[in-house]
């Protein structure tokens, strides 16, 4: 149905830093996405468990209650959540951390601090932009 | 004890989960905790059997490929025992693990689910189905029933409404009729006094907003489920006004009231006989009710007071300056 085709894709953003949430939301919304935010891992998991379908998830590595990496592992226990591409935001990046996160199911890293364009580029690898202008260009 | 902790008392369904995947254990624990279940999760077959005996679960979720006794063996042991065979057992099977459906049927499994789950709701539905739960508000209904039962056991047999009858006997004889109830209320009750508490026979029959005074005037101590008996719940009524004090017997002037017994004695009976479970359930209900309407009412009352206080403080500081 055309309504599904033009439905605004939802992106889950989880970080305990409200400033990051605000900035990411701003970028996502300006690109035509709908940002659903969570302040900790438990809240993020509850949102994932709701009937909402997310086009992608951008999770902070270190969050209260459930860490980003752990959350990715939980997502692997449900087929419908397994399909969601997960981008991990982190201030520290080591090879161990990377391999752990990738083996948990994360698909990309976004080192903090990041710029708007870094966020757009990383997300763009998995989800197409939904800005009305961009949709027109692809036609 | 917090109200959140008290919720353990009203948990009705115990689930035993045996799975060697930490993620599955966490996911199931998180999900079912939110649904009001009490989940005990273990990582191998031996621990599963030990916990099964220990907690006597209402339902078992068991991975077929467990270290120690397999899921099939655990299921068979449960189903072979007359006293436990009615407990539903659901087998969990990894997508890439072999699953023997014939063996599952032979050992009497009540169902199986493949991991990863299509959605965790699939597992919740299965559990609900096997436990005969089809009402999403089951917990609320069950709590209400429990409150009724606990109320009867706590009060009805112990509080005497006159020299010969207990409350239960009195109620079985018809209790108060509508006329008696109306007569027990003060005549000047305004029609819109829906949420106010009235105490028949008080000298000054003023309306009392229960939530205005409740927190300040009643101190309720509640024991945890694991507290050592005897546990003595405690109600402390202080002298703050306008909450009525039960000791004010001399102010009771309404002859039509049913409180023929000295009210203080009734209070003592309540204090001695009320069970901690009942207090916890009532407290939880109160908190639930506080969630919307009452919170708005409290806010409506409190916000102007806080604003007034802040303005006064600001003016005082200005005057000092």
10-residue mean pLDDT profile of chain A (139 residues): values are: 64 96 96 95 92 90 92 92 93 78 85 93 87 51
How confident is the prediction along chain B (321 residues), in pLDDT tens digits per residue?
444 444 444 547 999 999 999 999 999 999 998 888 999 999 999 999 999 999 999 999 999 999 999 999 999 999 999 999 999 999 999 988 889 999 999 999 999 999 999 889 899 999 999 998 864 544 443 444 444 444 444 444 444 444 455 444 444 444 444 444 444 444 444 444 433 333 334 444 344 444 444 444 333 333 344 444 443 433 434 444 444 344 444 444 444 444 444 545 555 555 555 667 777 777 766 666 555 556 666 677 777 788 888 888 888 888 876
Q: How far is it, in rounded angstroms, from Cα B225 to Cα B246?
A: 30
Please tell me the predicted confidence (pLDDT) of residue A88.
Answer: 93
A80 in contact with B at a CB cutoff of 8 Å? Answer: yes
Contact B150, B285 (CB under 8 A): no
Residue B36 Cα, gap to closest chain A Cα (Å): 15
Residue B120 Cα, gap to closest chain A Cα (Å): 6
Contact A84, A63 (CB under 8 A): no
* Cβ neighbours of B21 in A, within 8 Å: 77
Whether residue B117 and residue A74 make contact (CB cut-off 8 A), yes or no, is no
Q: How far is it, in rounded angstroms, from Cα A69 to Cα A109?
A: 11
Which helix (H) or strand (E) segment is A5 a member of? Answer: helix A2-5
Query: Which CB contacts under 8 angstroms, 24+ apart, belong to A89-94?
Result: A89/A15, A89/A20, A89/A58, A89/A59, A89/A60, A89/A61, A89/A114, A90/A60, A90/A61, A90/A62, A91/A61, A92/A61
Asked if ipTM goes beyond 0.85, one says no
A30 in contact with B at a CB cutoff of 8 Å? Answer: no
Whether residue B24 and residue A70 make contact (CB cut-off 8 A), yes or no, is no
Please tell me the predicted confidence (pLDDT) of residue B293.
Answer: 58
Query: How is the beta sheet containing A86-90 ordered, strand by strand?
Result: A34-38, A10-14, A56-60, A86-90, A108-111
Whether residue A78 and residue B120 make contact (CB cut-off 8 A), yes or no, is yes
Residue B283 Cα, gap to closest chain A Cα (Å): 26
Whether residue B30 and residue A42 make contact (CB cut-off 8 A), yes or no, is yes
Whether residue B23 and residue A78 make contact (CB cut-off 8 A), yes or no, is no
Please tell me the predicted confidence (pLDDT) of residue A68.
Answer: 92
Count CB neighbours of A99 within 10 A: 10
* Cβ neighbours of B31 in A, within 8 Å: 49
Whether residue B116 and residue A74 make contact (CB cut-off 8 A), yes or no, is no
Burial class for B48, CB neighbours closer than 10 Å (0-12, 13-18, 19+): buried
Please tell me the predicted confidence (pLDDT) of residue B72.
Answer: 96
A74 in contact with B at a CB cutoff of 8 Å? Answer: yes
């Amino acid at each position: 149905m055309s309504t599904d085709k033009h439905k605004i894709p939802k992106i889950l953003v989880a970080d305990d830093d409200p400033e990051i949430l605000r900035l990411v939301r701003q970028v996502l919304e300006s690109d035509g996405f709908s940002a659903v935010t969570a302040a900790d891992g438990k809240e993020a998991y509850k949102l994932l468990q709701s009937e909402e379908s997310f086009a992608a998830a951008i999770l902070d590595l270190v969050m209260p209650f459930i860490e980003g990496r752990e959350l990715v592992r939980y997502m692997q226990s449900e087929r419908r959540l397994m399909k969601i591409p997960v981008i991990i935001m982190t201030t520290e990046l080591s090879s161990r951390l990377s391999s752990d996160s990738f083996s948990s199911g994360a698909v990309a890293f976004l080192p903090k601090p990041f710029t708007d364009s870094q966020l757009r580029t990383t997300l763009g690898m998995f989800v197409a932009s939904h800005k009305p202008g961009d949709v027109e260009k692809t036609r | 004890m917090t109200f959140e902790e008290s919720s353990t008392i009203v948990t009705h369904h115990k689930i035993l989960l045996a799975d060697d995947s930490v993620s599955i254990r966490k996911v199931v624990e998180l999900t079912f905790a939110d649904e009001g279940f009490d989940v005990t999760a273990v990582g191998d077959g031996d621990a599963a059997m030990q916990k099964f005996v220990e907690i006597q679960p209402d339902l078992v979720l068991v991975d077929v490929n467990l270290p120690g006794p397999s899921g099939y063996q655990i299921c068979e042991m449960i189903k072979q025992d007359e006293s436990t065979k009615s407990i539903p057992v659901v087998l969990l099977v990894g997508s890439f693990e072999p699953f023997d459906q014939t063996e599952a049927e032979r050992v009497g499994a009540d169902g199986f689910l493949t991991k990863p789950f299509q959605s965790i709701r699939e597992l919740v539905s299965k559990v609900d189905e096997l436990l005969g739960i089809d009402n999403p508000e089951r917990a609320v209904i069950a709590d209400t029933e429990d409150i009724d039962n606990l109320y009867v056991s706590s009060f009805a047999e112990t509080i005497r409404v006159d020299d010969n009858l207990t409350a239960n006997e009195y109620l079985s004889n018809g209790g108060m009729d509508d006329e008696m109830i109306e007569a027990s209320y003060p005549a000047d009750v305004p029609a819109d006094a829906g949420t106010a508490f009235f105490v028949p026979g008080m000298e000054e029959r003023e309306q009392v907003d229960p939530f205005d005074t409740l927190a300040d005037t009643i101190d309720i101590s509640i024991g945890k489920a694991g507290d050592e008996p005897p546990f003595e719940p405690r109600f402390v009524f202080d002298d703050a006004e306008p909450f009525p004090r039960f000791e004010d017997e001399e102010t009771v002037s309404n002859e039509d009231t049913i409180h023929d017994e000295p009210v203080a004695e009734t209070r003592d009976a309540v204090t001695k006989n009320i069970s901690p479970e009942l207090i916890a359930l009532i407290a939880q209900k109160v908190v639930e009710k506080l969630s919307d309407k009452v919170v708005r009412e409290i806010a409506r009352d409190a916000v102007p007071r806080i604003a007034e206080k802040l303005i006064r403080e600001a003016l005082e500081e200005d005057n000092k300056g």
